[in-house]
Structure 1
Amino acid sequence: MNPRVIGTVRSHLVSREQCPKYGDASMPPVWIELAPDFEPAATDLQVGDSILVLTWMHQGDQSVLRCHPQGNRELPMRGIFSTRSPDRPTPIGLHAVRILGREGLRLKVHPLEVIDGTPVIDIKPDNTPCPAQTEFSSLVNPDTGQAILTAGRDGWQRGLFAGFNGNVSIRQGERVVITATGSAKGHLSPKDLAVVDLSTGTPVSSVRASSEIAVHLEVYRNQPRAKAIVHTHPPKLLALSLRGEGPLLDLPLFEGRVFADKLTRVPAHRPGTVELAQAVGQASRDFEAVFMDNHGLVCWGDSMIQALGLSEELESLAGIAMTR
């Protein structure tokens, strides 16, 4: 039995193949056209409201009980109830969106990743407390979350982060908690934390992870001792690298020898690429600090304090080297 339809989605997406697996912040907004009969029910919906939209995924295969997550056949099959596949016994979609505009019974919402013509079967207020209200979400261990927030603030105060650059993560079992894309490291809050599956890279939370998530995943996969990672853009170390004068930290100091031995360098690769991630991951097998030419520094440790502390030591030595 099909449910009662209250409206229809009008979207730029016209096929299942075009739909992202999760609501993507980079997508354009779409419209929901409500049927006239339901005008009284929609009276109090306003621009800015967070709502839950339930859709009837009419092109879903209701006979499917197991699938490859995200349609990736390289991943093992899972029971359909542990996935977001549109193919399921009762093909109901649940989407957390915000109303960006309203024209009568037309609601402009974002992000909604269904195809044009998808029936809407219900709308509810999203009363789920956001992480900022309940501190950290149920996906993030409070100690893990606080360690990341503190590292972002401390690194920013020491000049290792500027504006929105860099990223910080901690391994939490078989998941990785990492700063969100576009987050200011000196002013992080719980809502700036994303959670990703370590083995597959699949998002576990609705928060979008840093664009450098692949680097973090490759380090954790290649270096089992890594529990925390700090990726900074240290200005002194970057400036020193641009001089092109031999090794980065060739100093006749005890500390220089100790910490320089922890550092290696990889050639320049475009940020966010598989090539960069793989280069850093492989280098992390033998070194605790990896300098990425024309980009920045990645340090790992068995704790956030160790990873951030190593970043600070190397930047301090770079400052000394700059004055020679």
Structure 2
Amino acid sequence: MTAEIHFIGRVRTQFDTLEACPKQGNEGGKEAWVEVAPEFSEGLDGIVVGQHLDLFTWLHQADRKAMSVHPRGDTSRPKRGVFTTRSPARPNPVGVHTVTVLKVEPNRLKVEPLEALDKTPLIDIKKTPTPANLITPVDIRREDIEEITHVCRSAWSRRLFSGFNGNASIRLGDACLMTATGSAKGCLEPKDFVLVDIASGAILAGSKPSSEGEMHLEIYRNQPKAQAILHTHPPKILALGVLVQPEEMLQLPIFETELIGSRMTTAPAFAPGTTELAQATGKAAMTHDAVYMEKHGLVCWADTLGHALSLSEELEHLASIHVDVVG
């Protein structure tokens, strides 16, 4: 029995020679483009940024006659049958590469990490299997990423963020889409997002969550009305926290104190990223839609991320008035 394989496209990578290619994607693989021929481009429908995929390639320069190899090409190790290794040398040199989608275009995908030789033929693309103990990820829509990107840039321009601090998320059914660790909020990219199961905290797609990711999850678990969360480091609120006791913050003889200031409560000064801070903030969010975390920052939840930003701005404005009064 014989079979015929139809190449559906090719990969465009940064590796021009076999010597330059890493052994595995997690050992030096880089960003690459997966180009799909027009007649197969419809098959990309439904693929989203942050999703994990398995790419199947035809390693066209591999030795198809070798039946035994030195594992990982290390001649100091005894030879073994090719079927006990992941060597590209084998009768049918099919490569399997697990990658994360960074960008989706009509007939191509930007992915990482990929270790294949440039122009390697593409055989197939499959969704990476989800472990049985995880919830199947919901789709990450481009609009969801654009919403978080827009709000974070607005917050950054208002000095509520600086550099890599702070984070944001939106609820998507039983999961939430949040900014990943090490992401600059003023210039987010599609790779700066991660989809997390709210109940278990398991990563469903994307990279590593922010160090404050557990705080977002605790708020969603405790406050079913929360559809979006914004955690910022507002300079005036932080300054006010240095000048007065937490119970005195935003206590001013103006109408905004009752209208806006009363919406904020305080969580104790636990270290950032700790379980204690996440749990304390989640509990406080049950009764207030804004929580000042002593010595750390502000977190607001709302029905939309834009509304969470608006509340953050109003509280920061009230704090600036209070700082002027105290000063």
Counterpart CA distance in 2 for 1:271 and 1:127 is: 33
Counterpart check, 1:239 vs 2:205: no
**CA contact 1:52–1:126 (8 Å) conserved in 2:** no
What is the aligned partner in structure 1 of residue 20 from structure 2? 46
User: Which of the numbers 120, 124, 129 marks the counterpart of 2:86?
Assistant: 120
What is the aligned partner in structure 1 of residue 289 from structure 2? 288
What is the aligned partner in structure 1 of residue 154 from structure 2? 154
Counterpart CA distance in 2 for 1:201 and 1:155 is: 26
What is the aligned partner in structure 2 of residue 262 from structure 1? 263
Report Cα offsets for 1:67-98 as digits up to 9, x if no partner: xxxxxxxxxxxxxxxxxxxxxxxxxxx799xx
Rg larger in structure: 2
Aligned partner of residue 204 in structure 1, secondary structure: strand
Aligned partner of residue 101 in structure 2, secondary structure: coil
Distance 1:132 1:257, change over 3 A: same
**CA contact 2:169–2:176 (8 Å) conserved in 1:** yes
Distance 1:48 1:185, change over 3 A: farther
**CA contact 2:100–2:206 (8 Å) conserved in 1:** no
User: Which of the numbers 108, 112, 130 marks the counterpart of 2:101?
Assistant: 130
**CA contact 1:52–1:125 (8 Å) conserved in 2:** no
Could you say what the CA RMSD is over the residues aligned between the two structures, in angstroms?
3.2
**CA contact 1:176–1:195 (8 Å) conserved in 2:** yes
Q: Displacement of 1:48 after TM fit?
A: 7.5
User: What amino acid sits opposite 1:44 in the alignment?
Assistant: L
How many residues get paired? Answer: 226
Distance 1:181 1:187, change over 3 A: same
List aligned pairs for 1:102-113, cutoff 5 A: none
TM-score, reference length from structure 1: 0.63
Counterpart CA distance in 2 for 1:95 and 1:292 is: 44
Aligned partner of residue 229 in structure 2, secondary structure: strand
Q: Displacement of 1:129 after TM fit?
A: 7.5
Report Cα offsets for 1:1-26 as digits up to 9, x if no partner: xxxxxxxxxxxxxxxxxxxxxxxxxx
Q: Displacement of 1:46 after TM fit?
A: 2.4
List aligned pairs for 1:1-324, cutoff 5 A: 44=18, 46=20, 51=25, 119-120=85-86, 124=95, 126=97, 130-134=101-105, 139-245=139-245, 246-324=247-325
Q: Displacement of 1:145 after TM fit?
A: 1.2
**CA contact 2:156–2:186 (8 Å) conserved in 1:** yes
Give structure 2 stretches of 5+ with no counterpart.
Answer: 1-15, 28-53, 57-70, 74-83, 89-93, 112-137
What is the aligned partner in structure 1 of residue 79 from structure 2? none
| Larger CA deviation: 137-146 vs 198-207 | 137-146
Counterpart CA distance in 2 for 1:50 and 1:151 is: 37
**CA contact 1:241–1:293 (8 Å) conserved in 2:** yes
**CA contact 2:55–2:96 (8 Å) conserved in 1:** no
Give structure 1 stretches of 5+ with no counterpart.
Answer: 1-41, 54-93, 97-104, 108-117
Q: Displacement of 1:305 after TM fit?
A: 1.1
Counterpart CA distance in 2 for 1:224 and 1:267 is: 23
**CA contact 1:136–1:142 (8 Å) conserved in 2:** no
Report Cα offsets for 1:100-135 as digits up to 9, x if no partner: xxxxx969xxxxxxxxxx943557375968323549
Distance 1:136 1:165, change over 3 A: farther
**CA contact 2:193–2:206 (8 Å) conserved in 1:** no
Q: Displacement of 1:190 after TM fit?
A: 1.1
Distance 1:121 1:204, change over 3 A: farther
Counterpart CA distance in 1 for 2:231 and 2:163 is: 14
Q: Percent identity?
A: 42
Q: Displacement of 1:206 after TM fit?
A: 3.7
User: What amino acid sits opposite 1:153 in the alignment?
Assistant: R
Counterpart CA distance in 1 for 2:23 and 2:317 is: 48
Counterpart CA distance in 2 for 1:136 and 1:306 is: 33
Q: Which runs of 4+ in 1 moved over 4 A?
A: 47-50, 125-129, 133-138
Report Cα offsets for 1:43-81 as digits up to 9, x if no partner: 52525798489xxxxxxxxxxxxxxxxxxxxxxxxxxxx
Counterpart CA distance in 2 for 1:229 and 1:180 is: 14
Aligned partner of residue 205 in structure 1, secondary structure: strand
Aligned partner of residue 130 in structure 1, secondary structure: strand
